[in-house]
Structure 1
Amino acid sequence: MALGALFGPKFTKYGRRKTMLYSLAVLMVLCLLSAVGLHLADIVVLRFLVGVFCGFFCSLVPIYISEVSPADKRGKYGILHQLFLTFGILLSSLIAVPLPAAYPIDNVYSEAPMFVSVYWRVNMAACVLPCVIAFLLLWLCFDYETPFYYYDKGQQEDVKKLLALNYCRPNVEKEYADLVNAVKMNENLAAKKVGLLDGLRSASFRTVILVAIAINISQQLTGINIFMTSSNALFVSAGLSGVWPTIVTVLMNALNSLMTFAPVYLIEKKGRKWLLVAGSIGIIVSVLPATVLFWLLGTEHKASQILAIAGSLLFICFFAATFGGVVWVYTFEIFPDELRMSCAGACVSINWLTGIVLVFVAQYVGIRTNFTIFTVLNILVLAFCVLCIKETKGLPLGKSPYIKEAETPAAKI
């Protein structure tokens, strides 16, 4: 997924919508082939390609949403991307529930029963359905590109028609002027085709790129993927047994999905920075009590285990209501127009790669060490959000709070 996200935005020059349609078509084929694969090597390669194109598609969706959304609703619509991601995770966990019950992990090397031999293929094929729905919606209902794409192609009338459609009123001269100004601010940048490395060498662009990278790394430093991917092992080490680890994991996924509704209503009222700071404080409050008790009473004490489970569920609530969706919105808002295409995908890749590294490392340390490390990291994330994050609420897309209008960044590269 990280590899696909790195290259996804590079294909937006062919059209945001068109690129998403092609990637969905490829995903449908790959998912079907995965479901009927006969050899392990074939399935591994196919699932790798599914991950690449899934990351490719997921890096395009926030770009499309951010460019077609009205400025005063961009955050709200951007959160919907994360909302449906969490809903998909919840559905996948529910679909997979029968597998461990029918084929326990300690019997993995024995012959699988007929139900398992068929049902895992159903799991693979289930991915086709959301791809088909998304493809049909894009093809039949959202049959237009974005205002920025039309402007780049010199189709000014299409820009005004789409802005009028998005804002539900015929007079969109102010919005059109904002879009033109945002693009003109970056004409030098577009001409020089500044990428990630060139941007880092520019004094004007270095700050916005580093902030975008840092906020994406911070999302993973909260510990979200440790709690989500290792939840069963976490709950077993916290004292749960039998089917309870699986039940609590499903509950965690349900909370993750439900709490993502919160920023849909809060992001345009409170702003991005307020949510990130509030989320950091909430996450620290969630994990700190269990961390303290782990050191005072040990990991085997009942009070420590109860607080660890309760803290994990509370952590998910705060994360889903803040960092889960806000980081994706913020990443695609703070970049100038052309820099956004070259850098946003790289930030998403860095985000996922950070998660992979943390999950790999965390499995070799105990629950007490994990809670301690992520408590400290979340305190650092809070300090970063307070000191370095600037508000983007209400700003036209393409106008970065980290770049002054008077600057001509491309000239300084």
Structure 2
Amino acid sequence: MPGGPMAAGDGIGKNAPKNKLAGILMTYARCRTFAAFGGILFGYDTGTIGGVKIMKDWLRTFGHPATDLTLHPTGYAISSSTESLVVSILSAGTFFGALLAAPAGDILGRKWGIIAANLVFCVGVAMQTASTGIPLFVVGRVFAGLGVGLVSCLVPMYQSECSPKWIRGAVVSAYQWAITIGLLLAAIVNNATQHRDNHSSYRIPIAIQFVWAFILVSGMFFLPESPRWLIKKGRDDEAAQSLARLTSLPPNDPENELELEDIRANLRQEQELGENSYLDCFQPGHHNRILLRTLSGIFLQAWQQLTGINFIFYYGATFFQNSGIKNPFVTSVITNVVNVVMTLPGMWGVERFGRRRLLIVGAIGMCVCEFIVAIVGVTISVENSSGQKVLIAFVCFYIAFFASTWGPIAWVITGEIFPLNVRAKAMSMATASNWLWNFGIGYATPYLVNKAPGSAGLESKVFFIWGSTCFCCIIFTYFCIPETKGLSLEQIDILYQNTTPRNSVAYRRQLLADNLAVQQGAGVERSSVEKV
């Protein structure tokens, strides 16, 4: 039975061989460091625009004078249509970047695809930094979006294919943690430069992105290529060397050889069905349930965006300002700190409690918090300071539930549920779905929230929408997302072939027990199977 050398335990490295734990932790540290800058690139770019677009010099440069100083305290404003375009056009670029990640990842490899993505990203950052008019600024955000879209697909793919299965969830979750760090850094830099009365107020936050890209590219030169991609390309010797670097074991170690043989066997089985195109990702009745897996990944990323989280990070400063909160920049820093800190329990819990359970708990928590925020927002005035503190508190609770569940786990699942032969294509579509909904929400929100001609003026009532979508997340997870904690990528194929998401918890337990028996019979050293 395909399955790799070891099963998962109750926490990170729980079932790693004790005499090899140092090598495993080294692997984790390398992947985490790599994720830190792939994710920071993503998060920082997302977070920068939320503060930049309410800075006085940016509004003076790209907007027009305003007469209503209550709504526009800087004396300048931009229209809802311009605000929608500037915020959401990045997501349009990332949508196409995510789709391009499949050919880039399959042709160039996961490693060199990420390096190429950074070069595209830097072109966009340069355009934004140099611009003094909306057209060049928008084009720059499109190019930056292409780079971010490529990175957001290739990084979790690389991590999933290079991480030991007992810490794979934690390693991929580190990517989401890095996104939250990027968002926090953006909020801090925006807060530091907001009072500059010249172009440096917005150019400094934007130009700092060159630093993250440089560090990511530099680090990639020292990391090995994905062994699964190398085997797919028939480069078995290089795959053995790559896996040896990742596990700190000799290339001919029995555990490495067993894992490589599992990968080859799984790939041969898939290749017997012929070459795969994007249409093959939607094959009904396929023995591997490819259609279910593809749609699950696409809709999981869509529901992650429909939780409304990027409303806080794109429009949070504007929302808090309109809610009567005196210093929206400081409040944005606070919400970002919550986002960073609460991602850490999610990184631990994804291997302790599993993916499926945490997604359901997180959706319930977000649903309750968002309905409370909506109710508080429509029943108190902006002068009620106690009410505003309650509003901020429940926004923070909502962010905490997201950060510890749906934030990291959506990336973990989309990095592991697809079979190898269509992984790049299916994952690119799942990531593109994330960015498509990101674009839609980013573009529509000013029209939904702002009090201006042609806008709905919902303000805090928009949280009734987000609360309803979180309720839908509960139903979706229950019926469509299986429990994959502790399974190798090849074992996940077996799970999909033999059970349904609703029955996956029991089948997973049986799969791990059967795999343990097979490995003990073969004399492979390992620790006991996890307690479920």
Coarse TM-score class (shorter-chain normalised): 0.7 to 0.9
Unaligned runs of 5+ in 2: 1-93, 450-457, 500-532
- Would you say the 8 A contact 2:123–2:140 is kept in 1? no
Candidates 291, 298, 304, aligned match of 1:213: 298
CA–CA separation in structure 2 for the residues paired with 1:122 and 1:293 = 37
CA–CA separation in structure 2 for the residues paired with 1:360 and 1:10 = 28
- Would you say the 8 A contact 1:20–1:60 is kept in 2? yes
Matched residue type, 1:306: K
* CA distances 1:383-413 after superposition (whole Å, capped 9, x unpaired): 221232101112222533663179xxxxxxx
CA–CA separation in structure 2 for the residues paired with 1:235 and 1:25 = 35
Candidates 262, 272, 276, aligned match of 1:178: 262
Partner of 1:17: 111
Worse-matched range after superposition: 38-47 or 327-336: 38-47
CA–CA separation in structure 2 for the residues paired with 1:236 and 1:75 = 37
Partner of 1:137: 219
CA–CA separation in structure 2 for the residues paired with 1:37 and 1:233 = 23
Matched residue type, 2:187: S
Tell me whether 1:65 sits opposite 2:159 in the alignment.
Answer: yes
Q: Please state which structure has a larger fraction of its residues in helix.
A: 1
TM-score normalised by the chain length of structure 1: 0.86
TM-score normalised by the chain length of structure 2: 0.68
Matched residue type, 1:120: Y
Partner of 1:273: 356
Partner of 1:108: none
Worse-matched range after superposition: 155-164 or 310-319: 155-164
- Would you say the 8 A contact 2:123–2:144 is kept in 1? no
- Would you say the 8 A contact 1:299–1:368 is kept in 2? no
State the identity %: 26
- Would you say the 8 A contact 1:67–1:148 is kept in 2? yes
Matched residue type, 1:381: C
Partner of 2:434: 351
Partner of 1:109: none
Residues 234-313 of structure 1 mapped to structure 2, 5 A cutoff: 234-241=319-326, 244-294=327-377, 297=379, 302=384, 304-313=387-396
What's the offset of the Cα at 1:227?
2.0
Tell me whether 1:367 sits opposite 2:459 in the alignment.
Answer: yes
What's the offset of the Cα at 1:26?
3.6
What is the count of residue pairs matched by the alignment? 387
Candidates 478, 497, 512, aligned match of 1:404: 497
CA–CA separation in structure 1 for the residues paired with 2:460 and 2:204 = 38
Candidates 304, 315, 319, aligned match of 1:230: 315
Local SS of the residue matching 1:203: coil
Pick closer, same or farther for the CA change 1:126–1:290 going to 2, 3 Å: closer
CA–CA separation in structure 1 for the residues paired with 2:344 and 2:324 = 31
Pick closer, same or farther for the CA change 1:124–1:358 going to 2, 3 Å: closer
Tell me whether 1:384 sits opposite 2:469 in the alignment.
Answer: no
CA–CA separation in structure 1 for the residues paired with 2:266 and 2:347 = 26
What's the offset of the Cα at 1:36?
3.5
CA–CA separation in structure 1 for the residues paired with 2:430 and 2:495 = 17
What's the offset of the Cα at 1:250?
1.2
What's the offset of the Cα at 1:90?
1.3
CA–CA separation in structure 2 for the residues paired with 1:397 and 1:187 = 16
Partner of 1:28: 122
Partner of 1:92: 186
Unaligned runs of 5+ in 1: 103-112, 407-413
* CA distances 1:354-373 after superposition (whole Å, capped 9, x unpaired): 12222333332413431212
* CA distances 1:313-334 after superposition (whole Å, capped 9, x unpaired): 1111110111111101101211
CA–CA separation in structure 2 for the residues paired with 1:357 and 1:214 = 15
Pick closer, same or farther for the CA change 1:96–1:403 going to 2, 3 Å: same
What's the offset of the Cα at 1:92?
1.5
Partner of 1:106: none
- Would you say the 8 A contact 2:161–2:228 is kept in 1? yes
Residues 152-191 of structure 1 mapped to structure 2, 5 A cutoff: 152-169=232-249, 170-172=253-255, 173-189=257-273, 191=274
- Would you say the 8 A contact 2:281–2:291 is kept in 1? yes
Candidates 202, 209, 227, aligned match of 2:284: 202
CA–CA separation in structure 2 for the residues paired with 1:125 and 1:293 = 39
Partner of 2:231: 151
Matched residue type, 2:395: S
CA–CA separation in structure 2 for the residues paired with 1:286 and 1:17 = 40
Local SS of the residue matching 2:195: helix
Partner of 2:170: 76
Local SS of the residue matching 2:496: coil
